Each structure stands twice: as C-alpha cells, then as structure tokens.
Structure 1
C-alpha cells in the first residue's frame, strides 16, 4: 500500500481492517 498514491491515516486503516474482519466473520458464520 503506497501512502503517496492513497493517503490514509492509521485510524482509517484500522477501521477498514476492523470492518473487513467483521464481514469475514459474518460470511464464515453463514
């Protein structure tokens, strides 16, 4: 992930990862 091409803060990145983990857990639960 290049910060120059797509600037993103650590908080935004952590929230992004958290949402992905919840989505994976939801899909795995079905």
Structure 2
C-alpha cells in the first residue's frame, strides 16, 4: 500500500526518474 501510494503520487510528476528511485528507496528501507 505504501509503495502504490507513493508511485501514484509521483508517477504524474516524473514516472521515469521515480520509477528508478522508488524501487531503490523501497529496497533500502526493506533491508
């Protein structure tokens, strides 16, 4: 739910840059 909310909110702004930063941030937080 957290990742979907963040992606949907940033996708419109820059889905290209966020698409790469989102997975990186989520992975860092999960570790």
Tell me the TM-score range normalised by the shorter chain.
Answer: 0.3 to 0.5
> If each structure's helix is expressed as a fraction of its own residues, which one has the higher value?
2
